[in-house]
Amino acid sequence: MAKRKLTPVVAVAGFLFFVFLYSTHKARDTWRGLPEHLVLSEQFRGNSSDGQVEDPDFANWNPRPNFIPGSPMPPAHNYSTTLVIAKVKDDDIKWMEEHLPKDIELSIWVADDPKAPLHPPKNKGHEVMVYLSWIIDNYDHLPDIAIFLHAHQHAWHNDDLLGRDASQMLQRLNRARIWREGYINMRCSWVPGCPEWMHPGETERDSNKQEQSYLAKSWSELFPFDSVPDVLAQPCSAQFALSRERILAKPHAQYIWYREWLFSTKLSDHLSGRIWEYVWQFVFTGHNIFCPEEQVCFCDQYGSCFGGDQEYKDFRQVKQQLHDRENDLRSWENKAKAITEAQKEGKLEEADQMERPEWGMDEEFKREIERLRPIVEKLEKEAVERGEDPRKRAKELGRKWKEGDGF
């Protein structure tokens, strides 16, 4: 079938026609039985007596969220919570059995196994297809909190302050913050992603941001009534949590629209998934830049409170010094190892040409690491202890608190 260029009015009208048809079905397991690619109708007849095409209600078709952060539930409230996991067959998720809080319900989706109890309609877009499918299928019976996470326990994009450990993230996560804010990124550290990261106007390819040159076109398809922003930014890497209120702030049909874009786009699995990494914050907050202060995020979200902005900056400085010395020692040892191995293999001339680590600097690096590590560990421990006190946590965040309040 030849592809035709649809005008915005006709394209949107066709979409609304699809929504009308869809709304007649009661089942929320929406993707089963639907064709892999939905064809938007080229014509849509309005309700006018003369049968003329009527313009859709553009203002309400793709509403930008206008979410006002709410108040937390009473301190004793047990937030019903579902953890949505996007995985492939080879991912090991045994860690969840050992470390997952008992009151969290698991929803494990296997992207590359159509025989799995939960699987998306197509293995495309990395975790995006899974996340959208879960929202679509559960829109009418949402928990208080939904957490969207990758399957790995340890990953570079998990915060180092939490040991890069997803189990720590889940155990220490403050669900009252999710309810208050509506949308949170599970990562607090800005780099990579903030304060500016993606520039949709750039057309020159960037090997570190392969998706950047495709953002403008993708944006115009996903959000046709919103101007393409100059900057898109939030901490990486597509792991976040939502309140029920925030999900319901958008109509069910809108999530179907987003997933249909994923079905239809010619972008690869990799690129279509990367596009959404810096789009989620706009979908749920209406802001193209979403970069909460690191100190506030760590304190309110995970209970690591350093006493204030300057105290947090001082901690990060010491932590960076420790990180730098550890890298220096690692580099020194790698150089020495390469020379030793070359000599053992009889490659004496090659060994002579290698860069030699400065004699004795390894011991200097070790001494500095031994000095810095206890300082960092002490500050981290004190931050956790401070965060266990709801009064101190509220004070650091500038939030009003009274006796009996929780976090």
Residue 13 falls inside a structural domain:
no
Whether residues 197 and 337 share a domain: the answer is no
Residues in the chain: 407
Residue with token string 């204030």: 308
Of 243, 266, 292, the residue that ends a domain is: 292
pLDDT tens digits for range 73-99: 887 889 999 999 999 999 999 999 899
pLDDT at residue number 228: 93
Whether residues 287 and 389 share a domain: the answer is no
Whether residues 247 and 335 share a domain: the answer is no
Residue 45 falls inside a structural domain:
no
Residue 89 falls inside a structural domain:
yes
Q: Where are the alpha helices (DSSP H) in 238-303?
A: 244-248, 252-264, 269-277, 280-285, 294-302
Residue 300 falls inside a structural domain:
no
How many other C-beta atoms can be found within 10 angstroms of the C-beta atom of residue 386?
19
Confidence tier at 1 by pLDDT (50, 70, 90): very low
Nearest to 113 by CA among 90, 80, 81: 90
pLDDT tens digits for range 40-63: 333 223 344 455 555 555 556 566
Of 263, 292, 321, the residue that ends a domain is: 292
Residue 405 falls inside a structural domain:
no
Query: Over the Cα atoms of the chain, what is R_g?
Result: 25
CB distance 224 to 266 below 8 Å: no
Residue 47 falls inside a structural domain:
no
Confidence tier at 213 by pLDDT (50, 70, 90): confident
Whether residues 258 and 113 share a domain: the answer is yes
Residue 25 falls inside a structural domain:
no
pLDDT at residue number 73: 81
Whether residues 121 and 202 share a domain: the answer is yes
Arithmetic mean of pLDDT, 119-134:
95
pLDDT at residue number 61: 59
Q: Which two tokens stand for residue 245?
A: 């209120």
Whether residues 179 and 264 share a domain: the answer is yes
Whether residues 250 and 324 share a domain: the answer is no
Whether residues 186 and 330 share a domain: the answer is no
Of 292, 327, 350, the residue that ends a domain is: 292
- pTM for the model stands at 0.82
Order across the sheet with 81-87: list the strands.
104-110, 81-87, 145-150, 240-243, 183-185
Question: Which residues neighbour 349 within 8 Å (Cβ) at sequence distance 6 or greater?
Answer: none
pLDDT at residue number 282: 95
Whether residues 212 and 359 share a domain: the answer is no
Whether residues 352 and 245 share a domain: the answer is no
pLDDT at residue number 203: 74
Whether residues 157 and 232 share a domain: the answer is yes
How many other C-beta atoms can be found within 10 angstroms of the C-beta atom of residue 394?
19
Please count the helices (runs of H) and the strands (runs of E) in the chain: 16, 5
Q: Say how many domains are in the chain.
A: 2
Residue-range definition of the domain harbouring residue 360: 309-397
Residue 68 falls inside a structural domain:
no
**How far is the C-alpha of 216 from the C-alpha of 212, rounded, in Å?**
8
Whether residues 288 and 313 share a domain: the answer is no
Q: What is the residue type of 328?
A: D
How many other C-beta atoms can be found within 10 angstroms of the C-beta atom of residue 261?
19
pLDDT at residue number 114: 93
26-33 LR contacts (CB < 8 Å, sep 24+): 28/136, 28/137, 28/138, 28/139, 28/140, 29/137, 30/136, 30/137, 30/256, 31/120, 31/121, 31/133, 31/136, 31/137, 31/259, 32/121
